Amino acid sequence: MATDNLADKIPDFNSSAGPQGGGPVDVTAIASIRRAKGLKEILSVLALAVVVVTLLEFILIWSHTEAYVFPKPTSIIRSLFTDFPTLYLKPLRQTVQTFFLGLIIGSTVGLSLAVLVTLKPGLDIFISPYIIILVTTPMVALIPFLMLKFGFGMTPRVIAISLATGPMVMINSATGFRRTNAELIALGKSYGATEFQLFRKIRFPFALPMIIVGFMVGSIFGLLTAVGAEMVGGGMGLGNRLIYFSSLVQMSQFGAVLVIVATFGVGIYSFFTFVNRKWASWDV
């Protein structure tokens, strides 16, 4: 890769792009949403949420809306607490399992490919068309086909989730690696660093914030694919429960599943935001 940076091109020594923003797929903005800080801000945000939910409850009561049209927040909350072990725990476990399996496989392959195209810069023109196709095509669309091949078990879903997460991890990591300031690489080389040392000591830490964002967005894509795939067929997981409860018009239970899915998604976001602050705080 250093040959790429230090090639006999007309050099532009001052254009040292930072790791944030830009790139072929710029999804980094999600990592920089402003958060509430301090007790006062957090309390007011929570208070507003309570007001909105309470207001919704009263509107539904006053307008005599039937539960099958729109379930009351209280009935959703009640269902969440009373039915959790019986109705929701098993599908949640199934979704979590397929999600993490897909994420691990996808991100491992994605990160490896990113390292590969960084070390062998010529390769990216062959790989990127497939990455673009994979990023832009909803992987849920593959589920019917994959089910014909691999049956109704976990396999087709894990494959789809890997295909949804891998390219996002790859594209962000590769961009992070590539954006490493050319002067920093030159600095390393001037101290006689090997390619491996450059990677370990300069490129990887420099790209870490982008890699974390790749994981975050990849995971969100992965959850989307997981739930979507379960809705298509197979009789497993939270997505399947959404279809099941809505077909029975059990809207309180439907709402409860929706809350669980949303919590899962927000959990992913919070986790990676935390990781980013902990290990890549120099970037912000």
Residues engaged in binding another protein (CB under 8 A): 6, 8-11, 13-14, 16, 181, 183-184, 186-193, 197, 201-202, 205-206, 208, 280, 282-283
Nearer to another protein, 208 or 210 (CB): 208
Cβ 28 to another protein, closest distance in Å? Answer: 17
Rounded CA-CA distance 96/87 in Å is: 15
Cβ 2 to another protein, closest distance in Å? Answer: 9
Dihedral angle of Cα 274, 280, 283, 284, to the nearest 10 degrees: 20
Rounded CA-CA distance 213/209 in Å is: 6
Rounded to a whole number of angstroms, the distance between the first and last alpha carbons of the chain is: 26
Cβ 189 to another protein, closest distance in Å? Answer: 6
| Identity of the residue numbered 229 | A
DSSP state string for 100-147: HHHHHHHHHHHHHHHHHHHHSGGGHHHHHHHHHHHHHS-GGGGHHHHH
Rounded CA-CA distance 177/210 in Å is: 9
Phi and psi dihedrals of 274, rounded to 5? -65, -45
246: helix, strand or coil: helix
Rounded CA-CA distance 19/266 in Å is: 24
Cβ 123 to another protein, closest distance in Å? Answer: 21
Nearer to another protein, 9 or 40 (CB): 9
Rounded CA-CA distance 264/284 in Å is: 26
Stated length of the chain: 284
Nearer to another protein, 181 or 246 (CB): 181
Rounded CA-CA distance 176/209 in Å is: 8
Cβ 151 to another protein, closest distance in Å? Answer: 46
Cβ 225 to another protein, closest distance in Å? Answer: 33
Nearer to another protein, 122 or 192 (CB): 192
Cβ 20 to another protein, closest distance in Å? Answer: 12
Nearer to another protein, 92 or 212 (CB): 212
Cβ 184 to another protein, closest distance in Å? Answer: 6
Nearer to another protein, 18 or 22 (CB): 18
Dihedral angle of Cα 267, 112, 101, 257, to the nearest 10 degrees: 30
Tokens of 244: 């099941």
